[in-house]
Amino acid sequence: MSDVLTVRPAVLSVSPFPHDKSEATPDEVFIADGWWKSWRSSPWAGTIARNLSFDVTLNTIRQLAIRGADFRVLESPEFETYVGFICTEGDDVLHYIFVKDILRERGFSKALLGAVNLPTGYRYTHRTRLSKWLPRGRHRPDIARRKDL
Q: What's the chain's average pLDDT? A: 87
Q: Give the separation between CA 19 and CA 17, rounded to whole angstroms.
A: 6
Dump pLDDT digits (tens) for 42-98.
888 877 888 888 898 899 999 999 999 999 999 888 877 899 999 999 999 999 999
Give the CA dihedral 130, 134, 137, 141, nearest 10 degrees.
-10
- Give the count of beta carbons closer than 10 Å to the beta carbon of residue 91: 10
Question: Which of 1-5, 30-34, 110-114 has maximum average pLDDT?
Answer: 30-34
Percentage with pLDDT > 90 across the chain: 38
Any bridge partners for residue 89, and if so which? Answer: 93
Rg (CA), the chain: 15
Strand pairing class (93-99; 123-124): parallel
- Tell me, what's the pLDDT at 14? 82
Q: How many residues does the chain have?
A: 149
Distance between CA atoms of residues 94 and 64, nearest Å: 11
Q: What is the 3-state secondary structure (H, E, C) of 42-59?
A: CHHHCCCCHHHHHHHHHH
The pLDDT value recorded for residue 4 is 65
Looking at residue 72, its amino acid is R
Give the model's confidence band at 116: pLDDT under 50 very low, under 70 low, under 90 confident, else very high: very high
What pLDDT is recorded for position 149? 62
Phi, psi for residue 87 in degrees, rounded to 5: -125, 120
Percent above pLDDT 70 for the chain: 96
C-alpha 111/C-alpha 25 separation (Å) is 23
pLDDT score recorded for residue 97 = 94
pLDDT in tens, 1-15: 445 678 888 999 888
Residue 128, Cβ neighbours under 10 Å: how many?
19
